[in-house]
Structure 1
Amino acid sequence: MQISLKWINELVNIEKIKLDTLVEKLTLGGFEVEEILEIEISKTNQIVLDISATANRSDSLSIQGIASEIAALLNTSLNISTHLLRSEKLKQIILQKATIFSINTGCTTLLSVSVENLVNRTIPKWITKKLLSSGVTPSNTLVDFQSYILLETGYPFAFYDFDKIIKKVGKVDFELSVSRAADNESFVASNNENYNLDPSILLIKANELPLSIGGIIESQEFSCDNLTKSILIEASIFNAATIRQQSRKLGLRTDRSTRYEKSVKNTYLIESLYRLISLLRISNPNLTIKLETIIKANEQIINPIILNYGTLKEILGPTKKLSNNSFEYIDSKTIEDYLNRLNCIYVYNDKEDAWIVTVPHSRSDDLTREIDLIEEIGRLHGFNNFLITLPKLQVIGTKDKSYQTRQKLTSCLLNLGLNELIHYSLVNEKTFLTNQISLVNPLVSEYASLRVSLLPNLIRTSQENWKQSSSIINGFEYGHVFSLDTNTNFKEKEYVAGILGGLQTKTTWSESEQVITWFEAKGRIERLFEQLNVPVIWKSTSTSSNHLQEIFHKYRHAEIYRESGTLIGNFGQIHPILANDLSISSNLYLFEFDLAIIQVALENNNVSIYKEYSSYPKIIKDISFIIKQDIEFNQLKQLLYLNGSQFLSKINLLDEYKGNSIPEDHTSLCLQLIFQSNEKTLQNSEIEEILNNIRFVLTHEFNATIRN
């Protein structure tokens, strides 16, 4: 944006300010001066600054906006334009007659004023000069008035030929309104292009007659020309997102839409309208002015911001180091001065040492948090005026609990022979799971959803690896997964998941290569939790009630819980139908655990308890029995430990048999019981007594049949 210093000087006295000082102030204040130009206009040289403002400072995209910013940075007064004072009466009339409505169309304010007897269309020379200084080529038409007001105030006004509207409507009185276009509605714009509209496009209408595409371009039928003697001025405020979407859909951008896209507030809309009418009156003192339409939305409620003095000092830091090695900070009086420069309303709370600040309406978009106010105060004070030395911290940093958990878990998983893998957190919608969370506006279709599990990516990687090298990769991954709770709120959690099996390996030197079984895979996960010193409980689950039902085998799937009853995660074999569809081994085993639950479990197990290794011999006994198949082995194991005295140190499953000699729904188990004492050598008579008790428990508790 090109800004003439001569024009700025009319609003802020900068005659005594050196150019370098002004440029430095603007740059440090967040307004980078791209170029300093010297332009000759009517044989007079003018200094022009090419300034770029940040995207969140739409309030500064005008001469008045930049002048206000310069006044705040230089701590000087702003010359109040006479039209701002004279427009107060018009403002009161408009506010009293306004029709209030709720925001639902993308337009928050709509004013229209008819201007008749526009006989002299001469553009004042001083307006032409200011347009030239701002890089705008004058057209010597009514458009120059629109361009000038846009430059001076930042408000884009639309002009329509008033006589053409009355002729088409058939009467002088009509209602201006905002409504949605009909589906496939045709609209011929002032650029002679025909646009097919849909209900997402806003139209400004006189009764039912479309005058313009809201905030973008006027209709060709009602546009002004060289014969126009009366005009209808539309002063409106549109939602920035609405205009952006409309412009993108139509493939059309104009000066009006470009300004609306950067957000326009109605703070000085009435004053700017009065200014525009005043300019038209310069060459036409006998103009007839009439308010036609006054519609506005309820005023936006601006919530106050709490600005804590302690937080401000902590973030901005000291301004000076004193001789006694103490520091000086920005004081309360200076802070209040800066708040005044920002036109903020504030109340100081002495008890809390904080200010309750209400920001001006024009800054309500970019000043929404405490940190925004702190940044503004730092900007006005000058960030270069704060000490750049970082404070020396006395506290030595430590690894956080989450990192320690990952470090310990990674070590255990690597010891199991797994490799760490990393995948993208966005996934294809065509995955194995149906409960996907789709993105509203994905960059590419391949990454159109948030992942709800880490397992699909691990399975895909194994499939690709199998295609390339006929080998399944065994690995694990940490990552965030997403879900929806009952209130349709998004939740994000960190999980660890892994895939193992599918490869033929030797477990001993004497055996041939073979894939690991369900029990071997389950044993590795059990060993993982033993190494972590986290006691767990295995429970079978109804796959139909689990969100991973498309991935896990219907009958070889378990949920793992802490002893407290908190679910850690899932373990199971891949679903055979899924394995067949992907042409990979069905002997793949998957797990997925909640990392936060494991972290809590590790924090509760800070001290590992060690017991003395026994130097006394072991006594090993085998016991075989027939038992119902639906009894969980873990339940059986716990009862045997409970009744096997303190000498029963370990239980191993040696064999499981099902055959013709075994009743239906039953199975034959052979268990190896290992007895050992830390204090003495056990006698066979003692062990036999314990075995008799175990046989009694098996018979009476589980209705088992003891085999010889």
Structure 2
Amino acid sequence: MKFSWKWLKTLVNLENVTLSGLITQLTLAGIEVENVEEKPDIQDITLTIHVTTNRSDVSCLIGVAREVATLFNLRLYKSVRQAHTKNDIMLADLAIKSNSLLDINVSKIQELEPHLSPNWLKYRLKGCGIASSNLYTDVTNYINIKWGQDIDIFDPYYKNNFFCVTVPEYRKRDIRRAIDVVEEIGRIYGFEKFIHKIPQYKKRGSFSKINIVMKSIRLKLRSMGLHEIVSYSLQNRSNNRAVNLYNPLIEEQSKLRNSLIYNLLDAREYNLKQAALCLECFEIGRVFHKTANTITEQINVAGLIGSPSFSRRSWSNKSESLSWFQAKGMLEELFETLKVEVVWKKHEDDLCKQYDIKNSSMFHTHRIAIVGNRKDQKQIGLLGQIHSRHNSSFSINHNVYVFEINLLYLIEAINKKSSQHLQYVFQPYSNYPSITRDISCKIGQHENAKSIKEKILKTKNSLIESVEILSEYKDINYNEAEYTRNLTLRIQYRAYNRTLNDNDIRCIDNEIEQILEKSKT
């Protein structure tokens, strides 16, 4: 329970009592003071005490004032008394014939305008750790803190057939919510008198956008062969951004996680120790980050990929582990499925700190990249290869890659209007044979192999089917003025309606020769 030091001094005379003396006496009396928070903006101090189940009498400020007056042999101010109000609405007016509901107290306040709460009321509530909302809510909170009495204030012009209920002392433990009052009325009135009819609800429910994206991610990662795991949000890895629990059950679960990567590595290590198969897995879960003044919560998706026998070039060759480009391609395939437009950036140590990675030594030096939103360059996630020095600690002897992505930032990068990454073009194939020419030439220092290829294709000669670059050699023995490069191209000719003759081939060769001659200068 939180209460205001300044408010307490208006209930009992504490001129000769210091704050430290009050804390000591309350603690010795069995009422532990858990926290003391200064609030200079209102010149007040907020005290947080722990109320045990056998001392519910000190769960309100009046109860605390009585306890303090008893401990220091003081008297309460005369203003500390609870006024008795008259019941303005009789039970007969409520059409309830039962002696069990004589404790209902309904009072009507007229000519009350919904102005803003006065400053003194705002300061009293702020001193107790409650932000001001509106006049009705503030009055309700004020009475609850001071007297421990739950009330309900409503406007009869907007709420018809509603009434306030005063819960007696002997029913406070089981009647706490509005639904509890409804249940009590139904019990007295008789449940057998209720009409057995379910109300119709025409509005159809729908999934939120984040749930739709999560479902798509699950389906895609499962289709890639990854297993989904669910792990605890509690751990014992400490860092500057870790959120500590005040009263953990065990030391191993004393902090909230701020990354999913270590949970995936622990799951893989556990499966290997149990002689299970190589585990490739992913998890979608919540992580927590602590900054200077706030604690943020977000949903991340993380994955661990890599197996000793991911692929092989042929049946006669040995199987090979997952390469960096294959791992990057798997992640790009996921982005393509979701229509997410990303850019790949070089990693920085400051960016890695967001994912509970102390520094880039966790990953291979040249095998870590940051994924960003193409529109605003905002960081979405991270992909990296676990360094070999860490593989031994996790019982891993092959390449392993991990990624972690902020799900909300990923949704922001989705562009529904974007086309697919792969553009499939369907065209008829020719039934006639092709002719292949391997051409070697020299090009100038201002040309490159790609530009030569583009110039040949731009001739728009329908008989040129494809151009392939076989090799490019640079001659470093010449001086800069005579610097040239040797280029070898493989060009394929084909017609769709006939077999090519010598005249066709000669015309194509002449066009290509003219392009290559211009490229020498």
- TM range, smaller chain: 0.5 to 0.7
- Cα distance change on mapping 1:582 and 1:265 into 2, 3 Å: same
Deviation of 1:582 after TM superposition, in Å, equals: 3.2
Q: How does 1:402-413 map to 2 (within 5 A)?
A: 402-413=210-221
For 2:246 and 2:456, locate their aligned partners in 1 and report how far apart those are by CA, in whole Å: 60
Deviation of 1:599 after TM superposition, in Å, equals: 2.7
Of 491, 497, 503, the residue aligned with 2:302 is 497
Q: Does 1:421 align with 2:209?
A: no
Instruction: Give the corresponding residue for 1:359.
Output: 140
Amino acid of the residue matched to residue 341 of structure 1? N
Deviation of 1:459 after TM superposition, in Å, equals: 0.8
Question: Does the aligned pair in 1 maintain the 2:339–2:416 contact within 8 Å?
Answer: no
For 1:481 and 1:403, locate their aligned partners in 2 and report how far apart those are by CA, in whole Å: 17
For 1:451 and 1:555, locate their aligned partners in 2 and report how far apart those are by CA, in whole Å: 27
The SS at the match of 1:341 is coil
Question: Does the aligned pair in 1 maintain the 2:456–2:515 contact within 8 Å?
Answer: no
For 1:466 and 1:671, locate their aligned partners in 2 and report how far apart those are by CA, in whole Å: 51
CA displacement, residues 92-117 of structure 1 (integer Å, 9 cap, x when unaligned):
xxxxxxxxx971899985469xxxxx
Of 50, 55, 58, the residue aligned with 1:259 is 55
Q: Does 1:475 align with 2:271?
A: no
For 2:266 and 2:220, locate their aligned partners in 1 and report how far apart those are by CA, in whole Å: 24
For 1:623 and 1:412, locate their aligned partners in 2 and report how far apart those are by CA, in whole Å: 45
Instruction: Give the corresponding residue for 2:394.
Output: 582
Question: Does the aligned pair in 2 maintain the 1:241–1:261 contact within 8 Å?
Answer: no
Deviation of 1:607 after TM superposition, in Å, equals: 7.6
Percent of counterpart pairs with the same letter?
23
Q: Does 1:440 align with 2:440?
A: no
For 1:343 and 1:621, locate their aligned partners in 2 and report how far apart those are by CA, in whole Å: 100
Of 556, 574, 578, the residue aligned with 2:367 is 556
Question: Does the aligned pair in 1 maintain the 2:470–2:489 contact within 8 Å?
Answer: yes
Deviation of 1:472 after TM superposition, in Å, equals: 3.1
Question: Does the aligned pair in 1 maintain the 2:51–2:59 contact within 8 Å?
Answer: no
Q: Does 1:568 align with 2:380?
A: yes
Amino acid of the residue matched to residue 177 of structure 1? V
For 1:649 and 1:600, locate their aligned partners in 2 and report how far apart those are by CA, in whole Å: 41
CA displacement, residues 210-232 of structure 1 (integer Å, 9 cap, x when unaligned):
xx934679xxxxxxxxxxxxxxx
- Cα distance change on mapping 1:512 and 1:376 into 2, 3 Å: closer
Question: Does the aligned pair in 2 maintain the 1:478–1:495 contact within 8 Å?
Answer: yes
CA displacement, residues 593-645 of structure 1 (integer Å, 9 cap, x when unaligned):
12123333446348869754233579999999xxxxxxxxxxx999x999987
Instruction: Give the corresponding residue for 1:613.
Output: 426
- Cα distance change on mapping 1:652 and 1:378 into 2, 3 Å: farther
- Cα distance change on mapping 1:507 and 1:451 into 2, 3 Å: same
Q: How does 1:269-288 map to 2 (within 5 A)?
A: none
- Cα distance change on mapping 1:671 and 1:604 into 2, 3 Å: farther
Instruction: Give the corresponding residue for 1:539.
Output: 345
Q: Does 1:401 align with 2:193?
A: no
Q: How does 1:215-230 map to 2 (within 5 A)?
A: none
Deviation of 1:652 after TM superposition, in Å, equals: 11
Question: Does the aligned pair in 2 maintain the 1:543–1:557 contact within 8 Å?
Answer: no
Deviation of 1:456 after TM superposition, in Å, equals: 0.6
Question: Does the aligned pair in 2 maintain the 1:108–1:239 contact within 8 Å?
Answer: no
Q: How does 1:67-106 map to 2 (within 5 A)?
A: 103=5
Amino acid of the residue matched to residue 563 of structure 1? R
The SS at the match of 2:335 is helix
Q: How does 1:28-39 map to 2 (within 5 A)?
A: none
Deviation of 1:489 after TM superposition, in Å, equals: 1.1
The SS at the match of 2:285 is strand
Of 525, 529, 539, the residue aligned with 2:331 is 525
- Cα distance change on mapping 1:177 and 1:523 into 2, 3 Å: same
Deviation of 1:502 after TM superposition, in Å, equals: 3.7
Deviation of 1:535 after TM superposition, in Å, equals: 3.2
Deviation of 1:240 after TM superposition, in Å, equals: 7.5
For 1:671 and 1:589, locate their aligned partners in 2 and report how far apart those are by CA, in whole Å: 38
Amino acid of the residue matched to residue 213 of structure 1? L
Aligned length: 393
Q: Does 1:213 align with 2:28?
A: yes
- Cα distance change on mapping 1:589 and 1:176 into 2, 3 Å: same
Give the alignment's TM-score, normalised by structure 2. 0.56
Instruction: Give the corresponding residue for 1:166.
Output: none
Instruction: Give the corresponding residue for 2:121.
Output: none
Amino acid of the residue matched to residue 546 of structure 1? C
- Cα distance change on mapping 1:394 and 1:567 into 2, 3 Å: same
Deviation of 1:421 after TM superposition, in Å, equals: 1.1
- Cα distance change on mapping 1:675 and 1:576 into 2, 3 Å: farther
Deviation of 1:453 after TM superposition, in Å, equals: 0.7
For 1:671 and 1:561, locate their aligned partners in 2 and report how far apart those are by CA, in whole Å: 38
The SS at the match of 2:62 is coil
Q: Does 1:595 align with 2:400?
A: no
The SS at the match of 2:61 is coil
Q: Does 1:203 align with 2:25?
A: yes
The SS at the match of 1:482 is strand
- Cα distance change on mapping 1:601 and 1:403 into 2, 3 Å: same
For 2:468 and 2:216, locate their aligned partners in 1 and report how far apart those are by CA, in whole Å: 28
Q: Which moved more, 1:558-567 or 1:366-375?
A: 366-375
For 2:466 and 2:233, locate their aligned partners in 1 and report how far apart those are by CA, in whole Å: 43
Amino acid of the residue matched to residue 530 of structure 1? E
Structure 1's unaligned 5+ residue stretches are 1-55, 57-100, 113-174, 182-199, 205-211, 218-237, 245-256, 277-290, 300-329, 332-337, 625-635, 656-660, 662-669, 700-708
CA displacement, residues 262-290 of structure 1 (integer Å, 9 cap, x when unaligned):
513328978xx9xx9xxxxxxxxxxxxxx
Question: Does the aligned pair in 2 maintain the 1:651–1:673 contact within 8 Å?
Answer: yes
- Cα distance change on mapping 1:672 and 1:581 into 2, 3 Å: farther
- Cα distance change on mapping 1:563 and 1:348 into 2, 3 Å: same
CA displacement, residues 452-488 of structure 1 (integer Å, 9 cap, x when unaligned):
1110100111122222227431011100111134x52
For 1:568 and 1:637, locate their aligned partners in 2 and report how far apart those are by CA, in whole Å: 33
- Cα distance change on mapping 1:269 and 1:526 into 2, 3 Å: closer
Question: Does the aligned pair in 1 maintain the 2:105–2:164 contact within 8 Å?
Answer: no
Instruction: Give the corresponding residue for 2:293.
Output: 488
For 1:363 and 1:215, locate their aligned partners in 2 and report how far apart those are by CA, in whole Å: 23
Question: Does the aligned pair in 2 maintain the 1:553–1:572 contact within 8 Å?
Answer: yes
Instruction: Give the corresponding residue for 2:319.
Output: 513
- Cα distance change on mapping 1:409 and 1:213 into 2, 3 Å: closer
Structure 2's unaligned 5+ residue stretches are 33-45, 81-93, 96-101, 116-133, 155-162, 166-175, 441-448, 472-476, 478-486, 499-503
